[in-house]
Amino acid sequence: MHIAEGFLPPAHAIGWTIAATPFVVHGARAVVKEVRENPESTLLLGAAGAFTFVLSAIKLPSVTGSSSHPTGTGLGAVLFRPPVMALLGTVVLLFQALLLAHGGLTTLGANAFSMAVVGPWAGYGAYQLTRRLGGGLLGGVFAGMAIADLATYVTTALQLAWAHPDAESGFLGAAVKFLGVFAVTQVPLAIGEGLLGVLLFRVLTVNARPELERLGVLTPEPDDPREVSRDQVREVSRDQVREVSRARAPDEPPRSER
Amino acid sequence: MVTALLVLAVVALFALPLLIDGGSDYAGTDSQATELIEESDPGYEPWFSSVFSPGSAEVESGLFALQAALGGGVLGYVLGRLRGRRTAGKAAEEAGGS
């Protein structure tokens, strides 16, 4: 999904940079806020960044006879919500643009928009949808990671089609061509990335239970024998509180006016 | 058991294409897209080139390996710490309970 340096016309390069900048700035503030308010998140935040770092360095063969790399942005999006990945994904892209001649500075905006903005949000949406439909945590993680990967490549194909429309068939023709290169190759990779995410979450649910509960990914077990300290109660997210109160509401007698 | 199956599935997913048709050179999709642009839009001139590009393919693959190593190292450190924390907590609980 790396659009090579100089391969977007100046107007597109500037446009995508302007489009991506607010997301990255917002993401940077989200990271700072998370680390300041919940220092214990730093470890998992590091894991989310590291996961993207590893996966986007590895090119994997696909059944189409070409190779491509996964993005790994779904993990952070599921754990910390998508804004955080806008920064972490852009850091990865900057590293590759500066040291590896992979992607580029003029195309950083467009690449950040696809990998660090659209991918994480699409993945997060797929994760939420799957969980609402009863897919469970691991089902949601699989969908989230796979869709974050696939959506990134679809975005890149559309960006390229917009910048380089086909001489005869225009934008649509070019979109079909670029999607043929990017999206089809990416399907098995997206599945692989989803499976990797499931593997990772199986480890995290055992070893990082307190963090996952605080982030609202797991709901605390009601019959947990351990005494819940006051700090932990305060850390329960607002969403969970709302869920719990909703669940309990029918049992409670309707309260008369105060 | 489930973990082993998942690992196997991931490995199979990426080993199979190599086994099925060994003839392909597995060009990267990024460079395929670049070729596609040059083909369909021959008048287009890239107007900026990379600030730094690793001179040889060997150096480039080394830098990619460095990226993966950095990421893998941090990921392993975090997972190791989380696991260590849990086992230490369990040990402390047992020691306190007896």
Site of tokens 């998140």: A41
Residue B28 bridge partners (DSSP): A67
Q: Per-residue confidence of chain B (98 residues) as pLDDT tens digits?
A: 889 999 999 999 998 888 876 667 788 888 889 888 888 888 888 888 888 888 788 888 888 999 999 999 999 999 999 999 999 988 988 887 65
User: In this predicted model, what pLDDT tens digit does every residue of A35-82 receive, in sequence order?
Assistant: 999 998 899 999 999 999 999 998 899 888 889 999 999 999 999 999
CATH of the domain at A92: 1.10.1760.20
Say yes or no for a CB contact (<8 Å) between B30 and A102: yes
CA dihedral (A185, A186, A187, A188) in degrees, to 10, reads: 80
The answer to whether A66 contacts B40, with C-beta atoms less than 8 Å apart, is no
Please name the residue of chain A whose CA is at the shortest distance from the CA of residue B74.
Answer: A50
Most B CBs within 10 A among A68, A69, A99, hence the mutation to make, goes to A99
Number of residues assigned to chain B? 98
- The share of chain A scoring above pLDDT 90, in percent, equals 74
Domain ranges, residue A73: 10-214
Nearest CA in chain A to B81: A43
In whole angstroms, what is the distance from residue A107 CA to residue A98 CA? 12
Cα distance between residue A148 and residue A159, in whole Å: 17
Do the chains contact at A4 and B7, CB–CB below 8 Å?
no
Q: Which of A97, A182, A202 sits opposite B29 (nearest CB)?
A: A182
Longest dimension (CA), chain A: 73
The answer to whether residue A236 sits within a structural domain is: no
| Backbone phi and psi for residue A95, each to the nearest 5 degrees, phi listed first | -55, -45
Ramachandran angles phi, psi of A218, nearest 5°: -115, 145
